[in-house]
């Protein structure tokens, strides 16, 4: 199982412009990552991701695609829902977020049969 997660991480890292990644399970367990200090980041990713899901019924929204944090240096951190997990990736300021999102979504779609709405 760990190898599968590592293969997935390798695919993510092949996307040009990606700086770091973290895959966390919704119960707080960190599966794989290459961030220096993943502990507080993983907690905030899970809490933010779950809260983004919680807003859906309040606004009549159906499918949460991803959450983006813009940082002071214009780098971005993106959080994608992935079944029981959340995937967090950071990308360079120069990279174009929609392109990164397209590539990450393609990888996610290739490993998950259907989007869970």
Footprint of another protein (CB under 8 A): 27-28, 40-48, 51-52, 54-56, 58-73, 77, 97
Find tokens 């293969």 and name the residue.
7
Minimal distance, residue 111 CB to another protein, in Å:
20
3-state secondary structure of 61: coil
Complex with another protein: residue 54 or 111, whichever CB lies closer: 54
Phi/psi for 98 (5° steps) reads -55, -35
The sheet carrying 85-91 orders its strands as 30-33, 18-25, 85-91, 76-82
Minimal distance, residue 3 CB to another protein, in Å:
27
Minimal distance, residue 101 CB to another protein, in Å:
8
Distance between CA atoms of 53 and 68, rounded to whole angstroms? Answer: 14
Complex with another protein: residue 13 or 54, whichever CB lies closer: 54
Complex with another protein: residue 27 or 94, whichever CB lies closer: 27
């Amino acid at each position: 199982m760990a190898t599968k997660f590592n293969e997935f991480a390798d695919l993510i890292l092949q996307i040009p412009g990606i700086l770091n990644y973290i895959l966390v399970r919704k119960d707080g367990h960190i599966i794989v990552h290459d961030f220096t200090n993943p502990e507080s980041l993983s907690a905030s990713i899970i809490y933010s991701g779950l809260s983004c899901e919680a807003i859906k019924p309040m606004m009549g929204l159906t499918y949460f695609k991803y959450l983006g944090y813009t940082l002071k240096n214009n780098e971005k951190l993106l959080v994608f829902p992935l079944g029981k997990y959340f995937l967090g990736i950071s990308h360079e300021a120069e990279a174009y977020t929609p392109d990164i999102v397209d590539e990450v979504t393609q990888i996610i779609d290739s490993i998950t049969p259907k989007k869970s709405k």
